[in-house]
């Protein structure tokens, strides 16, 4: 049976499909067709390499089912789909087996640890900026398939898998981990290529859709319409830079008497931790370790923290743990408090500042004074502080007189758990650290001159005191 795959890529996506790089990333604006290109690449690989095991994923199953999976089925030739074996679960297609034995699996990756048993030849990430760097690194070890799938062997195919691929589609999000992986020449991954498309590169978009995009704030347009990597408008910590706030740790380490603090933020989608050490010599605190994981119990978090602290020599040296005061709230169903669960597991947390009006300036002052810096072991924290933004409103909302709730500016609550950790720590420094003033080198002549000046001034004051009339006040 002859099946033709009639997908015709947009002109802007042809270089992406032609690339043979081991890692590929398609940065695309809204409506640029990046999801279509990603799915077409996966279908092409499944057809060209019989017996391939391919994973297509998004952060959650719901998003995968409603977007990526729908596009995949839309561009798949009907006669090909009818010749496939399919399995559905939870309202979506879990797996599609091609006639040549290639498997295409659809998964939500909220926690990569759950997928450690996978053995695939390719992973396709849609909306890759939703994932954190730890997930990508963990899943990369799953791209290791060598033998054909059982379905391909049963159909008489022989040989080995010789092409492996990790492929991403994403909106740009400043200088995040995708930027470092594919664009920054200092950190770019080997055998990788990146491609870019804007909303205007898709000639099939309706005019009213383009006009609706252009009604958004200018920083939003730069990112989501023009696919630019410029810093997104409204940056809160404008002084935060790689050159000024990222350091190399000392070769000899921080010493046996080092004092560490830990900040923790328990979010609904992710729990984060940030460890800092007091750098006495330079009068500052240095972020030395970070942690961000999703969908885990308190015990799983504490087990991971103990392992991290033991590996970095922090055991017994944590002088303060501070967390979001929300851990004191009681769960409406169980009536239990999260801080009690952590206390029973051996982790006692004090409460950080509750309100942004207190937390944001506290960290901002330390950043401005360069009293809070990071080592290169905290890349997620650096990205989150750099990308921390004020909420923005559209021109239409401004024209209608819209104001933020209570007239108070608020930060965008997206991927900010490690920023919150830093803010909780900054709001509870035991005492402000003072930068040591450098000792001035005084010449012998200057020292002699100062001594003469001080002696003369003292003699004048003594003489004035002896000649004062009774009742005179100086």
Q: What is the pLDDT of residues 373-404, one digit of tens each?
A: 999 999 999 989 988 887 754 444 444 444 55
pLDDT at residue 461 is higher than 60? no
Band (pLDDT 50/70/90 cuts) for residue 442 is: very low
Calpha distance 271→147 (Å, rounded):
38
In tens, the pLDDT along 23-51 reads 999 999 999 999 999 999 999 999 999 99
Q: SS3 of 134, please?
A: helix
Average pLDDT over residues 405-415: 67
In tens, the pLDDT along 366-380 reads 998 899 999 999 999
- The count of C-alpha atoms lying within 13 angstroms of the C-alpha of 15, restricted to the half-sphere facing its C-beta, is 9
Structural domains present in the chain: 11-224 (3.40.50.300), 242-426 (3.30.420.280)
Residue 452 is predicted with a pLDDT of: 61
**Helical axes 417-426 vs 356-368, angle rounded to 10°:** 80
Least confident residue range of 6-15, 316-325, 404-413: 404-413
Of 406, 285, 417, 418, nearest to 357 by C-alpha is 406
In tens, the pLDDT along 222-275 reads 788 888 876 545 678 888 888 889 998 888 888 888 899 999 999 777 899 999
The tokens 């190399």 sit on which residue?
248
Calpha distance 340→354 (Å, rounded):
19
pLDDT at residue 282 is higher than 70? yes
Give the whole-number percent of the chain exceeding pLDDT 90. 49
Calpha distance 386→380 (Å, rounded):
10
Calpha distance 388→422 (Å, rounded):
12
Calpha distance 388→382 (Å, rounded):
10
Residue 433 is predicted with a pLDDT of: 39
Calpha distance 56→105 (Å, rounded):
6
Residue 280 is predicted with a pLDDT of: 83
pLDDT at residue 462 is higher than 80? no
In tens, the pLDDT along 300-326 reads 999 999 999 999 999 999 999 999 999
Q: SS3 of 454, please?
A: helix
pLDDT at residue 430 is higher than 60? no
Residue 471 is predicted with a pLDDT of: 38
Give the phi and the psi of residue 248 in degrees, each rounded to 5: -85, 135
pLDDT at residue 414 is higher than 50? yes
């Amino acid at each position: 049976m002859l099946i033709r795959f009639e997908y015709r890529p947009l002109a802007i996506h042809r270089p992406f499909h032609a690339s043979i790089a081991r890692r590929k990333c398609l940065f695309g604006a809204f409506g640029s067709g990046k999801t279509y290109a990603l799915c077409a690449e996966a279908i092409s690989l499944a057809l060209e390499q019989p017996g391939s095991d391919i994973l297509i994923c998004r952060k959650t199953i719901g998003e995968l089912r409603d977007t990526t999976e729908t596009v995949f089925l839309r561009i798949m030739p009907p006669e090909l789909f009818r010749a496939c074996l399919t399995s559905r679960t939870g309202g979506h297609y879990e797996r599609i087996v091609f006639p040549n034995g290639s498997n295409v699996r659809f998964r939500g990756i909220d926690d990569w640890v759950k997928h450690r048993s996978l053995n695939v030849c390719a992973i396709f990430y849609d909306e890759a900026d939703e994932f954190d760097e730890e997930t990508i690194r963990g899943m990369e070890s799953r791209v290791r398939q060598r033998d054909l799938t059982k379905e391909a062997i049963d159909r008489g195919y022989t040989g080995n898998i010789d092409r492996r691929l990790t492929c991403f589609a994403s909106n740009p999000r400043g200088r995040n981990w995708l930027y470092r992986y594919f664009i920054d020449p200092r950190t770019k991954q080997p055998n990788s290529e990146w491609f870019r498309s804007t909303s205007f590169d898709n000639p099939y978009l309706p005019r009213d859709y383009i006009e609706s995009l252009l009604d958004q704030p200018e920083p939003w347009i730069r990112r989501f319409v023009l696919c630019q990597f410029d810093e997104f408008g409204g940056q809160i910590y404008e002084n935060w830079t790689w050159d000024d706030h990222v350091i190399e740790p000392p070769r000899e380490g921080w010493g046996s008497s080092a004092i560490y603090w830990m900040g923790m933020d328990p979010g609904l989608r992710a729990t984060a931790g940030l460890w800092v050490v007091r750098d006495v010599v330079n009068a500052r605190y240095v972020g030395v370790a970070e942690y961000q994981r999703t969908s885990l119990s308190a015990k799983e978090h504490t087990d991971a923290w103990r392992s991290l602290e033991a590996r970095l020599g922090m055991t017994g040296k944590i002088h303060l743990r501070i967390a979001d005061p929300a851990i004191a709230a009681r769960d409406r169903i169980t009536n239990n408090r999260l801080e009690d669960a952590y206390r029973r597991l051996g982790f006692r947390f004090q409460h950080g500042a509750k309100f942004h009006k207190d937390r944001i300036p506290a960290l901002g002052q330390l950043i401005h004074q360069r009293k809070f810096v990071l080592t290169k072991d905290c890349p997620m924290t650096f990205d989150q502080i750099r990308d921390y933004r004020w909420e923005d409103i559209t021109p239409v909302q401004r024209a209608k007189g819209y104001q933020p709730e209570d007239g108070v500016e608020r930060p965008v609550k997206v991927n900010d758990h490690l920023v919150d950790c830093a803010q909780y720590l900054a709001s509870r420094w035991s005492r402000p650290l003072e930068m040591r003033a450098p000792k001035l080198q005084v010449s012998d002549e200057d020292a002699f001159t100062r001594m003469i000046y001080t002696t003369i001034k003292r003699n004048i004051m003594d003489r004035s005191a002896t000649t004062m009339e009774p009742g005179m006040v100086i």
